Structure 1
Amino acid sequence: MITILQIETATQVCSAAISQDGKTIALKEEMASNIHAGSLTLFIQSVMDTAGLKFSELDAIAVSKGPGSYTGLRIGVSTAKGLCFALDKPLIAIDTLQMMAEGFLKAEPAHEGLICAMIDARRMEVFTAVFDAQLDYVSPVEAKIIDEQSFESLLTANPVTFIGDGAAKCAVTLTHENAHFSITNYNSAGNMSQLAMQAYTQGKFEDVAYFEPFYLKDFVLTTPKKK
């Protein structure tokens, strides 16, 4: 039995889960601003206790690699890497947007059409990628500013369901009849289980010493305006 600790901190959701053979058996999460640093290790201990496991019984650590919040990703990845070093366990990195699409398909197995996962960036910008029902990329991960013409060719040919915390703000702009929106949150470590298991069985592990989150865009430090 393959047991994996899973961590998701790419958005405002702070989430930890345990999976065994691709099935989530314990989950602890909360959506709130600026809680990752103080809550993540507590959530990890909580799911370990719920599953009745010792850290030595884990087979791997999986982390949501981004794109997403710079600070959130730093916290999640540094925590995952620290556990891998301490426990001598392999590190698995999961595309955050693909994880979201996996969660949507798990909740909507009869879904027909494409899935566009969106993470809110600034103003009308989102981090996004489009997937088909097999979770293959139809459109690659990108930072995209949304306007009335966005995804026009895809929407003309297919129904597209937009998911994630970036989708809500786009609903008033993307008005094509084939555009559909889901308000459910899919940024959950519990939605990582199948993808993490697939990566484990295929031996897709990261170099713990050199792995960095997938920020997609450089971090920009802003200074407050003087009063």
Structure 2
Amino acid sequence: MTILLALDASSSACSAALLRRQDDHPDEVISRFELAPRAHTRRLLPMVDEVLDEAGVAPAELDAVAYGRGPGSFTGLRIAAGAAQGLAFGLDRPLLGVSTLQALALRAHRHHHYRYLVTALDARMGEVYAACWRCDRGRVEPLNAEAVLPPERLRLPEGHDDHDWVGVGSGWTLRESMPAETQVAMSLCLSDMDAAAEDMALLAIEAFAAGEGRAAHEVQPVYLRDQVAWRKSQ
């Protein structure tokens, strides 16, 4: 049996999930999810306590910890990273960072069975965090590298123009600023969908099984735009 705890505060949503996997049994997932802008510090650790209590799992029984490593809200990423690193270090368990954009793609795929997805998050300052994905039976394959860029430069990967694409995430509130060919290629846009710890747990448990867990201090947030604080101060 493998028991993994995941937490996320990378967007306006705050979430925690416990996933229990054992051979020949369906995965058991217990989760909490709440839209809680500016309340991540107050809500995240209580959510962790709630999922552990509901599952009847003591922290020492965890095999690994995971968190949404970004890209996303700088403050939220630091809150989640601090909580996850503290848990993993205190329990001497491996830590895994999960891409927010990949988790968002998995969420849309699991709930709606979409196969070709462009996940985009509003990065502020006239930019979006974005990546393109191909999904199949719970697997999420990247079709390009995650990037931060102006919405005017968001284009589909070459050779994939004929697919039925769906846009997911807050970045799609900027759809009218995107290239015309990108807008036309989208059959649907779900700008109000946020990433969740439940999907991060599903991605992380596969990575953990593949031996990708790391020491707590080795797993850092992914900001994509490291100079944002300096630019804001100018």
- d(CA) in 1 for partners of 2:154, 2:162: 14
Structure 1 residue identity aligned to 2:123: A
Query: Which residue pairs with 1:13 in the alignment?
Result: 13
- d(CA) in 1 for partners of 2:131, 2:200: 17
Cα offset, 1:141, TM superposition? 0.2
* Alignment partner of 1:205 out of 205, 213, 226: 213
For residues 94-147 of structure 1, the C-alpha deviation after alignment (integer angstroms, 9 at most, x for no partner) is 1111111111111122x34x2011111115411011011242111210002112
Question: Greater helix percent: which structure?
Answer: 2
Superposition map of 1:1-227 within 5 A: 1-21=1-21, 23=27, 25-109=29-113, 111-112=114-115, 114-133=116-135, 134-147=139-152, 150-151=154-155, 156-170=161-175, 173=178, 176-179=183-186, 180-218=188-226, 219-220=228-229, 222=232
Cα offset, 1:37, TM superposition? 1.2
Contact 2:132–2:156 (CA under 8 A) maintained in structure 1:
no
Structure 2 residue identity aligned to 1:120: D
For residues 158-212 of structure 1, the C-alpha deviation after alignment (integer angstroms, 9 at most, x for no partner) is 3221101222332574654321212452411011232111111101012312332
Percent of paired sites with the same residue: 26
1:6 match: secondary structure: strand
- d(CA) in 1 for partners of 2:168, 2:63: 31
Q: Which runs of 5+ in 1 are unaligned?
A: none
- d(CA) in 2 for partners of 1:169, 1:76: 27
Cα offset, 1:74, TM superposition? 0.7
Contact 2:128–2:171 (CA under 8 A) maintained in structure 1:
yes
Structure 2 residue identity aligned to 1:14: C
- d(CA) in 1 for partners of 2:215, 2:150: 33
Q: Which runs of 5+ in 2 are unaligned?
A: none
Instruction: Label 1:4 to 1:189 Cα distance change in 2 as closer, same or farther (>3 A).
Output: same
Instruction: Label 1:153 to 1:19 Cα distance change in 2 as closer, same or farther (>3 A).
Output: closer
Structure 1 residue identity aligned to 2:3: T
TM-score, reference length from structure 1: 0.88
Q: Runs ≥4 in structure 1, deviation > 6 angstroms?
A: none
- d(CA) in 2 for partners of 1:165, 1:123: 14
- d(CA) in 2 for partners of 1:86, 1:92: 15
When structure 1 is superposed on structure 2, of 24-33 and 8-17 the one drifting more is 24-33
1:140 match: secondary structure: coil
2:37 match: secondary structure: coil
User: How large is the Cα RMSD of the aligned pairs?
Assistant: 2.2
1:135 match: secondary structure: strand
Contact 1:23–1:194 (CA under 8 A) maintained in structure 2:
no
- d(CA) in 1 for partners of 2:93, 2:154: 42
Instruction: Label 1:152 to 1:88 Cα distance change in 2 as closer, same or farther (>3 A).
Output: closer
Instruction: Label 1:48 to 1:153 Cα distance change in 2 as closer, same or farther (>3 A).
Output: closer
